[in-house]
Structures are given as structure tokens and as C-alpha cells.
Amino acid sequence: MDKLVIEGGRALKGEVTVSGAKNAVLPILAATLLTDEPCVIKGVPNLRDTNTMLKILRSLGKSAEFDKGVVRIAQARETNFMADYKLVSTMRASFCVLGPILGKLKKAKVSLPGGCVIGVRPVDLHLKGFRALGADITIEGGYVNAVAKNLKGNSMYLGGAYGSSVLATDNVMMAAVLAKGKTIIECAACEPEVTDLAEFLIKMGAKIKGHGTPIIEIEGVKHLRGVEHKIIPDRIEAGTLIVAALITRGDITIRNIMYQHLGALIDKLQEAGANISRTDGSMRVRWGRRLKPINITTLPYPGFPTDMQAQIMSLMTVTPGISVITEKIYPDRFMHVAELNRMGAYIQREGPHAIVEGVRHLSGAPVMASDLRASAGLVLAGLAAKGLTSVSRIYHLERGYENMEIKLQALGAKIWRQKE
């Protein structure tokens, strides 16, 4: 098992290119189950999660070739209706194969994905949506069994305790595109990754309106065709790189970026005093002057993304003054607090709030990643810290960031892999 070792204190400078969005590519790969025709997906990041989804597709009857950011998918044999626990248990997002399997075969058996270190994330909204479409749902032996003679369009409300659900919206939308009649999803997730999935389905022949808004309308069709599609840039990787420039007092240009997907983050960073300018498809981020503390509340898109909470917390640990970060999506998503405090940060947690008092500098220390975004936050902290920081369990980082240490090295960071 590898760890990352970082010698901090170097200002990042240069240019870097953002990879395709992890949270867009996974459901889009799953959506290829809706057709027997070949599909070509471009701009695919080489991640642990991507390769896990390809293994799942192969187990379900697809052939899948992955080379230089391009995935070519074709039908290898009859589609299997069962997604096995051994694969689904390794990645929560793999549960989104249930919708397309159910839509195509009218029956599906998919392992429950289980909990997560950032908190329990139940699948009740997924099941509520499938039941509204006419599926009979039972849970037995850790598997969700879904059966329907025919799926029929219906109106449903998919809001949960903490707002809309991206994965539930994706899953139900994929089931509904082959259902008979009209489906209306209220309180649908508005994230760009949901919109990218909808655009992919529309290319395949689906009839979808309202994606990107809280109300999505789907008119079922009988057949979907194979298509070619390019994945949108990863807004969370882009946000992480923006923070990397600021936390190291650097000056970097970020390419393949969609400015409109980063509104809440950019607004808060500019409030803190960040120097951010944009041109067509790229952005320049400069430290420029001392930053000010800010208060942040994570919310569903277009609010401040929960997936940037750990990274912004790292930045606030070395920003003079007191910042308050409130987590309203996953209230338990604070596993990185203890690790940042090990590096000399001063963070107090009170329920869903983290109170961050900026310190003059962080000190390198051995730390352990607990989840994907926490690992990114710890790497950022290491870039700013004095001395050596080692980040263990970087398989979390590899789930969502393509070649992160290589990209940081190209910007001047002193970061390398080392065997545990």
C-alpha cells in the first residue's frame, strides 16, 4: 500500500488540466446498460471508481475497453440482471446500475451498497422512485430485488432529510426513460453531473426536459441507441486545484474548466480576497494578498458543495481569523478535523459546525485519509505545512483524482509516493 509524502512550503506555479468528472462518468457508464448498441465515452478519468464500474459492466454482459481516456462499450452477451455484492460493496455509486437494469429487463437484483465513513446514506429515495414507477421491491439477504411487469410513468417527490439526492435522481431517471408514459421527478438534483447524464440519455433517444432544475419531465420511449459522448470537466478537481494555488500562495492557470459550475466556491473565495480571473475554458488563480476568514454552509447545487468542505477547511486553517463551516449534507463529514489538528490546526467541532481559528502555519505530520475528499484536504494541508507530511490510505484519493501527485509535481510541488 502506498502513501504520499509531501515537503511543504512551495508556491505552486504553472498550468494544469482538469480531468473528466468522476460523478458524471459513473452513472453515464451505467446508462450504457439501457442499449445493446455500442457506445463511446470520451474524457474518462483513469480512477479506481471508473475501473470498478467497468468491472461491474463486464459482469453484467458488456465488453468494455479503456484506453487513453476513451471507453468503448459493446454488448458481449445477454444482460445479467444481478449485480454482485463483491463488486457493488466496493463503491457506493455502483448502486446506480439498478435503474438501467430494471428499465431494460423489468427485473434487477443489486446488492445494497452499505454505509460510508462520512455517514449513513440510505437508498430509500431510490426505492421510493422505483415503486412509483410500478416496481415491486423486496430486500432480502442484503440485496434489493426489483420486479415489474411494466414500468409506468408517474409523478414523485424525491426530496430527503438533507434535500435532493444526486444518485437517486440519476437512478430513477435511467429507469424512467424506458417506462410507458410521462414521469415527473420533483425535488430532483440540479447538479451538473445529473445534467450531463440527461444529455447523454437524450443523445440515446430519451425524451427529457427540465434537467438542471428541481423538476425533471421524462416521456418514456421504446428503444435507446448507442452514441458517442464526452464527459464534462470535474468541478471538484477544479475546485481542489484552485484551493491548492491559494493555500501555497501560488499562481496557476487551470484548463478544461467550466466556470459556471463553480459559482458558489468562487464567490466565497473572492469574498476571502482570492484573485481569480477567467478566459474561455480556463482560469487563473493567484494568491496576491492575505486572505480573510469566511463562513460556509454546504448545500445542494448550486449551493456550496459538500465535496469541497474538507479542502476549504484546510485553507481556512492558515487564514487569519475565525471561520465557521456548517455541513448540512452529511453532518458526520468531519473525519479530517482530527488529522488537521495533528498538523497544528485549531479546529473545534460543535455538531454540524466546525469552528476554525487560523494559525500562522501548519507543521508536517503523519496523517490518515478517511475518505476521498478528506484525503484531498490533507494533501492541500501538506502542501502548505512546514516540514514533511505523509498521507496514508491514498487509495481514497485514487478513487476520485486522476494522477493528482503528477499534476502537483508539474506545478512545482515536492510530492512523491512511498510504500507504507
The secondary structure element, H or E, covering residue 215 is strand 215-219
Domain endpoint, select from 230, 256, 283: 230
Residues 300 and 398 in one domain: yes
H, E, C per residue of 92-138 = HHHHHHHHHHHHHHCEEEEECCCCCCCCCCCCHHHHHHHHHCCCEEE
Range of the domain at 251: 2-19+233-419
Round to whole Å and give the CA distance between 300 and 302: 6
Contact between 18 and 404 under an 8 Å Cβ cutoff? The reply is no
Q: Pseudo-torsion of CA 189, 302, 329, 390, nearest 10°?
A: 120
What pLDDT is stored for residue 230 in this prediction? 98
Residues 74 and 147 in one domain: yes
Longest C-alpha distance within the chain, in Å? 64
What pLDDT is stored for residue 4 in this prediction? 98
302: preceding bond cis by omega (within 30 degrees): yes
Residues 100 and 15 in one domain: no
What pLDDT is stored for residue 280 in this prediction? 84
Of 286, 255, 282, 281, the residue nearest 270 (C-alpha): 286
Q: How far is CA 210 from the centre of its chain?
A: 22
Instruction: Report DSSP letters for 145-204, one per residue.
Output: EEE-SS-B--EEE--BTTB--HHHHHHHHHHHTTSBSEEEEET----HHHHHHHHHHHHH
Residues 294 and 356 in one domain: yes
Round to whole Å and give the CA distance between 190 and 105: 28
Residues 308 and 340 in one domain: yes
Question: Which CATH number covers residue 69?
Answer: 3.65.10.10
Round to whole Å and give the CA distance between 342 and 369: 13
Round to whole Å and give the CA distance between 58 and 63: 6
Domain endpoint, select from 230, 258, 281: 230
Residue by residue, pLDDT tens for the chain (420 residues) are 899 999 999 999 999 999 999 999 999 999 999 999 999 999 999 999 999 999 999 999 999 999 999 999 999 999 999 998 888 888 888 999 999 999 999 999 999 885 454 454 578 999 999 999 999 999 999 899 999 999 999 999 999 888 899 999 999 999 999 999 999 999 999 999 999 999 999 999 999 999 999 999 999 999 999 999 999 999 999 999 999 999 999 999 999 999 999 999 999 999 999 999 998 889 999 997 889 999 999 999 999 999 999 999 999 999 999 999 999 998 889 999 999 999 999 999 999 999 999 999 999 999 999 999 999 999 999 999 999 999 999 999 999 999 999 999 999 999 999 998
Q: Who's near 333: CB < 8 A, 6+ residues apart? A: 118, 119, 306, 309, 310, 327, 371, 373
Residues 255 and 350 in one domain: yes
Residues 375 and 314 in one domain: yes
3-state secondary structure of 387: coil
The catalytic residues are 116
Contact between 249 and 10 under an 8 Å Cβ cutoff? The reply is no
Domain endpoint, select from 178, 202, 230: 230
What pLDDT is stored for residue 112 in this prediction? 87
What pLDDT is stored for residue 114 in this prediction? 55
pTM as predicted: 0.96
Residues 10 and 37 in one domain: no
What pLDDT is stored for residue 185 in this prediction? 98
Round to whole Å and give the CA distance between 189 and 191: 6
Residues 208 and 270 in one domain: no
Tell me how many domains the chain contains.
2
Residues 114 and 210 in one domain: yes
Half-sphere exposure of 304 (CA within 13 A, CB side): 21
Residues 173 and 33 in one domain: yes
What pLDDT is stored for residue 113 in this prediction? 81
Round to whole Å and give the CA distance between 323 and 312: 10
The secondary structure element, H or E, covering residue 384 is helix 372-384
Q: How far is CA 36 from the centre of its chain?
A: 27
Residues 257 and 111 in one domain: no
Instruction: Give phi and psi for 382, each to the nearest 5.
Output: -65, -35
